[in-house]
Amino acid sequence: MKKMVVLMVIIVLLTACGQSNQNVEENVQKVHEGTIADKRERHDGTLQFLLVSNVEEEEIQDKSEGELISLAQDEDGAYYSVNDEKFDELSIGQQVEVSWNGNQEESNPPQRVADMIETISNP
């Protein structure tokens, strides 16, 4: 009986340690570099910008929202939520580097929260 209790305690401890390591890996900061292709206010008031990798400003000009979303799906794009002040500072065509925590809403393109934004170049 004692062996069974000891075995169960060991299993619980090993399982808990394994889960702890997984949580640490999920909270690692990630970086996404690209061009701001669009800015929008969602129905819930959230302010977002669409960041698309591997495109130049000329490739996003005169595109509809649907065309920009399609481009983002093809080129590792994502929507990033920001506060009012940061939203006003950003402009379409600007190249930025965004740090985010690795969590995202499952959509295509995904939706994330920007932790830090660094401007690479302005349009």
Q: Is 9 a residue whose pLDDT tops 70?
A: no
Chain Cα centroid distance, residue 14 = 31
Per residue in 26-59, pLDDT tens?
568 899 999 999 999 999 999 999 999 999 989 9
With beta carbons less than 8 A apart as the criterion, state whether 85 and 65 touch. Answer: no
What is residue 28's predicted lDDT score, i.e. its pLDDT? 81
Per residue in 69-121, pLDDT tens?
999 999 999 999 999 999 999 999 999 999 999 999 999 999 999 999 999 99
Peptide bond connecting 110 to the previous residue in cis, omega within 30 degrees of 0: no
Q: Hey, what domains does the chain have and what are their CATH numbers?
A: 29-121 (2.40.50.140)
The confidence band for 123, taking pLDDT boundaries of 50, 70 and 90, is confident
> Smallest Cα–Cα separation from 84: which of 36, 119, 45?
45
Q: What is the pTM of this model?
A: 0.77
